[in-house]
Chain A
Amino acid sequence: MSGPPATRPCEGHLAELVDYIDGDLAPPALEALEAHIEACTCCSALERELRERIGLVKQAGRPEVPGDVRARARARVQALLAEARRAR
């Protein structure tokens, strides 16, 4: 992770920062937090850390579907649609 780890007092802002990064924070809390981040080095470090981690989580949680699994999925779709056409 980039930057020094945020120290204790900023832990209290973790929940708000997660909401902020997810786009779930609405005004006026949004403006208040942004103003705070500008002024607080510890919270701006924590924001960077969380943003980077959430980016990595996103990549880690979207594994490529392996080629053979994808091929079987495609074959299942074709079989289902062919069966449906026959039934009509």
Chain B
Amino acid sequence: MPRSVTRRQKPHPSSDEPSPGSDYPDLVKAASTGDAAALDALLLRAQEVAYRFSLTVCGHAEDAEDVMQEALIKTYQHVEGIREPAAFRGWLYRTVKNACLMRRRLRRHEPRHLLSIEDDRPDGGGAGGWPVADAAIPADEALSRSAERRRLREALSRLPGRYRVVVFLRQVEGLSTREVAGVLGISEASVKMRLHRAHGLLRREMSA
């Protein structure tokens, strides 16, 4: 493949884990034909996706367990008769996104703009998550480094929701541009545009 030859560096040289979720089709195929361990792994993973999405994109930790429950049941029902294992990952994120939005709509007193991961107004969103505990940061890490991380998390949580969801799906979870477009029901060009704007904003905030 010419692309991998010409590329000088891997995208995330600091990370040694494989692209998260690259093994979904195999897991789904195995689970759909009665492999109990594969089904078990898939159901756990569906809940983990729901947890990360709830915290990072939806920004409501207290909804996470409900969204996880929903992801568990829906995944279990979906996997049995599945025809296209390759489409599973997109289906899972769409399902989790919808469960998240549903939980929010149940919060009657919540301002409308919090539904902003679907909102294309320029000022939509901003009330989001990325609430990562500092416990994850090794104690011996340089102070400036951890301050940098904190500033980045703050900048991420201030991003408009429609940008934050794209950064999360594409760059954190590793979905392809096409998969992200499918999950959000927007064009691939819009996915890229949101990603570019997000990085323009992050850059401005981080160099301020």
Contact = CB atoms under 8 A, between A and B. Distances in A.
Contact of A22 (B65, B136, B170): B170
Instruction: List 6 tightest A-B contacts by C-beta distance, closest first.
Output: A61-B172, A15-B196, A73-B47, A77-B43, A63-B132, A55-B12
A15 B198 CA distance: 10
A86 interface: no
Interface in B34-85: 36, 39-40, 43-44, 47-48, 51-52, 55-56, 64-65, 68-69, 72-73, 76
Nearest to A31: B6
Interface residues of A, number: 41
Given A23-B3, A61-B172, A63-B133, A56 B152 contact: yes
A53 B116 CA distance: 24
Interface size class of B (residues with CB under 8 A): 35 or more
A26 interface: yes
Interface in A24-51: 24, 26-27, 30-31, 34, 49-51
Contact of B40 (A22, A31, A77): A77
Given A58-B172, A76-B69, A81-B36, 13 more contacts: A15-B196, A18-B195, A22-B195, A23-B11, A51-B9, A53-B203, A55-B13, A58-B15, A60-B152, A62-B20, A63-B133, A69-B64, A69-B65
